[in-house]
């Protein structure tokens, strides 16, 4: 199969957070342009401000006009607005959230139009965005809705660990009322398909966590495992999916049982993200599974406390870029492999 040169779009996120800094640090390494072309969605003055603030030398960008040609050798930037804005590293402002949404919308437009192959989103603050967009729960939900598939899944990935979530940005007190057998089956199916087409794992092994402490401890600490999660796992098995569980989350991660599986399905946000971020040491990425487009992001937030102090690590953003490219390549390979499946023939025996 011919290897395509992919174009990766990166949004700057909240410009008062660490998004611009990690973008600059990542793209300083010119070797990245051997693998992809890059388009930044933001504003050139923002990038110029941070290169000067961080004392970065010789960081050149190509301003990309409407219909212009992408320069494959250096970062390209699309100016998503023209008027000047006040940059205040470390401060959460409505302006920062509003401009982050403008960049996200511009990038999604190009993603859906096929002008970029992968979208990598910079970190945003839900609090700063919610003042103008009170319905905003997170970029995962926002992108999924815009893509016409709210039935997606937040997934965290690193070399040896992949974690999917049944519920995303949901208050803990509301999780029990959200989960049911059909939802869990649906998330298992999304995770199973993502492992096949995006990671080329032919027969994925999926571990499903329980909801309650000690996975309910034989219904002493809750009946969701017996009444909801276990039946969902069994139904998934009937569909030919290698799903196992429910497991008690503490023992599962504490005993390193995750190493025996290709992915783990957690019931709620912190149940999955706390062990993931502890084990991934800042190199993990966020990925939206179940979409017909590719979106990744670093697994960290705006980190206002260290913004502008030259302390932010670019590792997660770099991995988000390369994971997006890898998924694009594997999706193309999967499509080619499954385009003309060999028809199964049953021979009569005399």
Give the pLDDT confidence of 72-83 residue by residue, as tens digits. Answer: 999 999 999 999
Q: In the chain, how many domains are there? A: 2
Closest CA to 272 of 211, 224, 215: 211
Contact in structure between 266 and 156 (CB atoms under 8 Å): no
| Confidence category of residue 346, pLDDT binned at 50, 70, 90 | low
pLDDT in tens, 107-155: 999 999 999 999 999 999 988 888 778 888 889 999 999 999 878 999 9
User: Which of 256, 286, 316 is a domain's end point?
Assistant: 286
- CA atoms in the 13 A half-sphere facing the CB of 262: 19
Q: Which residues lie below 8 Å from residue 134, measured CB to CB, with a gap of 6+?
A: none
| pTM confidence score | 0.92
More confident residue, 218 or 319: 319
Task: Give the pair of three-digit tokens for residue 79.
Answer: 């100016």
**Co-location of 272 and 173 in the same domain:** yes
Say which CATH number the domain at 345 has: 3.40.718.10
In this structure, the answer to whether residues 30 and 110 fall within a common structural domain is: yes
Reference 107, options 19, 48, 167; nearest CA is: 19
Range of the domain at 238: 153-286
Same-domain status, 214 and 231: yes
CB 37 within 8 A of CB 76: yes
Q: Which of 19-23, 147-151, 174-178, 343-347 has the highest mean pLDDT?
A: 19-23
- Among the candidates 243, 260, 286, a domain finishes at 286
More confident site: 237 or 150: 237
Is there a single domain that holds both residue 227 and residue 101?
no
Quick one: pLDDT band at residue 341, thresholds 50, 70, 90?
low
Query: Given this model, what pLDDT does residue 339 score?
Result: 84
Residue 20, CA atoms < 13 Å, CB-side half-sphere: 32
Domain end marker among 243, 264, 286: 286
Residue 128: the pLDDT is 86
Would you state the pLDDT for residue 345?
56
135 shares a domain with 80: yes
Shared domain for 111 and 252, answered yes or no, is no
How many degrees, rounded to 5, is the angle at CA 40 between CA 35 and CA 5?
25
Q: Are residues 138 and 77 in the same domain?
A: yes
Report pLDDT for 2: 55
Does residue 339 share a domain with residue 265?
Answer: no
Write 52-55 long-range contacts (CB < 8 A, 24+).
Answer: 53/89, 53/308, 54/21, 54/24, 54/308, 54/310
Rounded to the nearest integer, the mean pLDDT of the chain is 92
Verify that 172 and 202 share a domain, yes or no: yes
Residues 14, 129, single domain; the answer is yes
Query: How far from 63 is each of 38, 245, 318, CA to CA, in Å?
Result: 12, 51, 22
Same domain, 160 and 211: yes
- Our separate counts of H helices and E strands in the chain read 12, 12
- Angle (CA) 36 63 57, round 5°: 80
Residues 184 and 313 in one domain: no
- Pairing verdict, β 118-120 and 295-298: parallel
Cis amide prior to 246 (ω within 30 degrees): yes
């Amino acid at each position: 199969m011919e290897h395509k040169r992919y174009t990766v779009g990166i949004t700057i996120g909240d410009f008062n957070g660490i998004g611009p800094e990690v973008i600059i640090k990542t793209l300083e390494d010119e070797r990245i342009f051997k693998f992809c072309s890059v388009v930044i969605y933001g504003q050139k003055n923002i990038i110029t401000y941070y290169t000067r603030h961080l004392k970065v030398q010789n960081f050149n960008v190509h301003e990309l006009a409407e219909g212009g040609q992408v320069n494959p050798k250096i970062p390209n930037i699309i100016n998503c607005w023209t008027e000047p804005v006040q940059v205040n590293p470390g401060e959460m402002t409505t302006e920062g959230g509003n401009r982050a949404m403008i960049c996200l919308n511009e990038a999604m437009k190009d993603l859906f139009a096929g002008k970029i192959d992968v979208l990598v989103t910079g970190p945003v603050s839900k609090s700063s965005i919610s003042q103008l967009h009170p319905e905003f729960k997170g970029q995962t939900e926002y992108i999924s809705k815009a893509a016409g598939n709210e039935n997606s899944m937040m997934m965290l990935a690193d070399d040896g660990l992949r974690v999917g979530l049944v519920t995303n940005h949901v208050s803990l007190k509301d999780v029990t009322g959200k989960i049911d057998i059909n939802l869990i089956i649906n998330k298992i199916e999304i995770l199973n398909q993502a492992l096949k087409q995006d990671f080329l794992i032919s027969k994925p092994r999926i571990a499903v966590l329980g909801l309650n402490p000690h996975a309910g401890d034989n219904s002493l600490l809750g009946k969701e495992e017996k009444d909801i999660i276990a039946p969902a796992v069994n139904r998934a098995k009937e569909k030919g999916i290698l799903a196992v569980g429910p497991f008690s989350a503490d023992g599962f991660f504490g005993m390193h049982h995750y190493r025996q599986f290709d992915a783990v399905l957690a019931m709620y946000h912190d149940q999955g993200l706390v062990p993931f971020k502890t084990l991934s040491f800042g190199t993990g990425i966020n990925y939206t599974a179940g979409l017909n487009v590719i979106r990744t992001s670093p697994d960290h937030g705006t980190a206002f406390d260290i913004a502008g102090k030259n302390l932010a690590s670019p590792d997660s953003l770099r991995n988000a870029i390369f994971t997006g490219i890898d998924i694009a390549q594997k999706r193309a390979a999967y499509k080619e492999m499954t385009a003309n499946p060999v028809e199964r023939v049953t021979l009569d025996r005399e």
